[in-house]
Amino acid sequence: MDKLKIGIDMDETINTFIHDLIEKYNDRYDDILTFNEVFDYNIRKFLKPECKDIFAEFCDNEFMSNLKLVAGAKNVIDKLHETEDIYFVTAGYPETVFARHKWLKRHFEWYNHGNLIICTNKQMLKLDVLIDDHYDNLINGCYRSILIDKPWNRKYNTIRAYNWFEVPQKINEAKNISRKDDEE
């Protein structure tokens, strides 16, 4: 059987992007915003008006370099890499591409630059599976979708993983769905 091409989003799917962004924002703007209060993908709705562009203000190379891994992501992705083709897919700012590359290299020994895809329209990608926290990236693509559970995506009914330990089972479900589609 061919290896699956699995695309994995980076920000808040495998790293702690929004958690860390909220922490910096709260420090600078003397706010008490919590991660679970961000129930819409557009975080700007939850910020004080004086914070004009949270991403331009905080998302520099140093910030990107210091993001932490989401619990379980490394072990699961390393294991998946043994049998599948893994690509990291991000719509992040072009200015942070090199920092993202270095971050991936530090956390995944097998990673090389050919595993990184910068793409804002993920529906253009030809993958077997896309794992993402943003529901819009998962619709109308030529891939099976796995939504990583976050407060901003809980209103959507789709294949969902509540943590990284559930991802292999969800991928197996996607494999089975793909096989059934091939047989029809």
For residue 86, how far is the Cα from the chain centroid? Answer: 13
Which helix (H) or strand (E) is 118 found in, with range?
A: strand 116-118
Low-confidence ranges of the chain (pLDDT < 70): 1, 177-184
The structure tokens 């891994």 sit at 69
Q: Which domains does the chain have, with CATH numbers?
A: 5-15+68-183 (3.40.50.1000), 17-65 (no CATH)
pLDDT in tens, 108-143: 999 999 999 999 999 999 999 999 999 999 999 999
Separation of CA 42 from chain center: 15
DSSP letter string over 61-76?
HHHHHTPPBPTTHHHH
Residue position matching structure tokens 């699956």: 4
Q: Whole-angstrom Cα distance, residue 48 to residue 30?
A: 10
Distance CA 158, CA 145 (A): 8
pLDDT of 180 reads 45
- pLDDT score for 42: 96
Read off the tokens for 172. 């197996």
Which residues are bridge partners to 6 per DSSP?
Answer: 86, 129
